[in-house]
Structure 1
């Protein structure tokens, strides 16, 4: 095939990358298959981009089709293609297929190791991840700050000690000053409910960014010092974003800080330029509901929220009604949730609890029959 035709892959590659960057992975794949249909020969840059799109949507059949195509095109041993394949198979759930490809590579680079390591972490296979980590270090492929951050993010919610081992390795290599690593460590210790360690790392950071502040605020969701942290963030000159307010308002709900939470919520848009979204209203309903201010919570949803409430908002209201025994508003919230989540048994159980606590046993039986009709038990 002439070189001019081969070079025709360049604009297609750019478009595929563009779609992927925008999160339009199905469009990226459609463009790739159109490229194949039009007889445009892919180059070494095409397949990694397409495999990334396959992994993003978790489509193993598409990924396998791309794998067969790249073999036909002579890229079976191309390192970029192989690394992309490992990542794709891991993200699509075929971790064994990813490992077979990994083992077939005679000379692995840092990307190969990272793809396999992150694949194991993503699937919760931490002994295998630890083994890969050790072998990676023996092979003299030391992970950089970006890789370490990714590994720690995967370990954050896991009940294992891999993150602690990684932290020790970070300290020995002097990487603790990297902002991305420190942020991931804060999140990891937060998930382990080790606030002291999270705060120590945060306070030791020479520089902090928005992610740093959001991480420590999330970690402090049950600590009264969260208010001081929020004020310090304001004084630091870093503007809070939507994530900041979700963390802070959730903390106010946990700690019963009704006045503080209401004040900050009222100031979100005017003072900080952040328009409250569904999650923020959910936090406020949770805050008011926990404090027993059920009518105020319903008024917020019914008259002040500029969009229809989703399961988060109505679920918080129903839960508050179940705690404080408000039958009338509980019925309203439950009716809305039955429309939004017709198969969520938890909502039915909460309404039954409300009726049971109110002594309305006939209504308890009625809701039970409704659950049976919907096949919920």
Structure 2
């Protein structure tokens, strides 16, 4: 164990291991134990520890580690500086992140991407575009990460089209990551024809490509057509794929198609349904007026105790639309426990009772509202 007291290597490995499984509190505690025992952090320690600070989301802890960086003499190291930019941006201090970025003696692609991602993450489109322009002016060639980040971050279709034009001039339009981002960019602005145009011309497609084009058509029958093409192309759908196609079935009222796809999810592809899948099925049956089937999804299809407000809320709304007071009562009572201060659930149940002519029950629920201090 003597080596443990002199070398940072075993400490770095443990810190990295904790961070990879999301045990950030244990990782940062280990780092401070390392410092307390007099072990000198090395070049590989700080990027790991700063990632941990970002995971915790504590700018105070991050600032303390930043001081350690300065005292250890790594304040000019590009790997450590990149980690500092990333840490401050993820902890919400975009000003400090930019200050470090501006003082960097040397910037690599990671530096630019970190700053660019920071602005996009915080919704600061002007800052993101300025970084992108600065990158070009300084002769640093944006990579696929930079271009994809800016494409998915711009709220202006005009800017997106300009960037697309620049991408074409540079010959990068069929880079897989960039093409996928173009699909997302155009669909975000309602230009489904442009999204389809990009997708149809792509020389190669991956799972992200298929999920993107299916997702943007989640209110259209084309979602199912693209799903069939995906299967024919030999691409295996994942959980995200099925959320999109089941959402399309629920929105369009395609009960039989939804049931068929849900069977594929479970039987053919052996995917364990997640909450979003159950939510889609509740919506599918609920919109179609098949209230008992929607209720069965929650009670029999999954553990009803695990069903959250979204599922019970969808069921309650379906009961309101189709006048099912019996199941509506069950759903509302469950929601009263899950969301005791959500006035909307009480109001929906009152309307269900009112439509059923159960005026005494309307008054009873109204008094529950009053007794809980909720306005109506």
TM-score by length of structure 2 reads 0.90
| 2:76 alignment partner in structure 1 | 77
1:44-193 aligned within 5 A? 44-155=43-154, 158=155, 161-193=158-190
Q: What displacement does 1:375 show?
A: 5.0
* Counterpart-to-counterpart distance in 1, 2:153 and 2:284: 30
| 2:320 alignment partner in structure 1 | 322
| 1:285 alignment partner in structure 2 | 282
2:302 equivalent among 302, 305, 308 = 305
Once the two structures are superposed, residues 262-301 of structure 1 have per-residue CA deviations (whole angstroms, 9 ceiling, x without a partner) of 1111232211111222211110000111111112211222
Deviates more, 1:353-362 or 1:212-221: 353-362
2:220 equivalent among 218, 223, 238 = 223
Paired residue secondary structure (2:142): coil
* Counterpart-to-counterpart distance in 2, 1:349 and 1:189: 39
Tell me if structure 2 keeps the 8 A contact 1:54–1:60: yes
Deviates more, 1:309-318 or 1:359-368: 359-368
Tell me if structure 1 keeps the 8 A contact 2:112–2:146: no
* Counterpart-to-counterpart distance in 1, 2:134 and 2:321: 52
2:348 equivalent among 350, 356, 361 = 350
Tell me if structure 2 keeps the 8 A contact 1:130–1:162: no
Residues 304 and 102 of structure 1: CA distance in aligned 2, closer, same or farther (over 3 Å): closer
Q: What displacement does 1:77 show?
A: 2.4
User: Unaligned regions of 5+ residues in structure 1, if any?
Assistant: none
Residues 107 and 325 of structure 1: CA distance in aligned 2, closer, same or farther (over 3 Å): same
Residues 262 and 89 of structure 1: CA distance in aligned 2, closer, same or farther (over 3 Å): same
Deviates more, 1:94-103 or 1:354-363: 354-363
* Counterpart-to-counterpart distance in 1, 2:204 and 2:128: 30
| 1:340 alignment partner in structure 2 | 338
TM-score by length of structure 1 reads 0.90
User: Unaligned regions of 5+ residues in structure 2, if any?
Assistant: none
Residues 42 and 238 of structure 1: CA distance in aligned 2, closer, same or farther (over 3 Å): same
Q: What displacement does 1:222 show?
A: 1.4
* Counterpart-to-counterpart distance in 2, 1:149 and 1:134: 15
Once the two structures are superposed, residues 36-70 of structure 1 have per-residue CA deviations (whole angstroms, 9 ceiling, x without a partner) of 22221111121111112222332211111111221
Tell me if structure 1 keeps the 8 A contact 2:4–2:10: no
Tell me if structure 2 keeps the 8 A contact 1:5–1:41: no
Once the two structures are superposed, residues 202-235 of structure 1 have per-residue CA deviations (whole angstroms, 9 ceiling, x without a partner) of 1111111111111111111111122221111111
* Counterpart-to-counterpart distance in 1, 2:124 and 2:293: 46
Q: What displacement does 1:371 show?
A: 4.2
Residues 38 and 233 of structure 1: CA distance in aligned 2, closer, same or farther (over 3 Å): same
1:200-219 aligned within 5 A? 200-219=197-216
Tell me if structure 2 keeps the 8 A contact 1:126–1:160: no
Residues 98 and 242 of structure 1: CA distance in aligned 2, closer, same or farther (over 3 Å): same
The total of aligned residue pairs comes to: 372
Once the two structures are superposed, residues 59-103 of structure 1 have per-residue CA deviations (whole angstroms, 9 ceiling, x without a partner) of 211111111221222222222222211111111111111122222
Deviates more, 1:133-142 or 1:267-276: 267-276
1:226-265 aligned within 5 A? 226-265=223-262
Tell me if structure 1 keeps the 8 A contact 2:11–2:30: yes
* Counterpart-to-counterpart distance in 1, 2:177 and 2:158: 20
Once the two structures are superposed, residues 318-367 of structure 1 have per-residue CA deviations (whole angstroms, 9 ceiling, x without a partner) of 12122223222122112112222334444334334434444555545544
Q: What displacement does 1:376 show?
A: 4.9
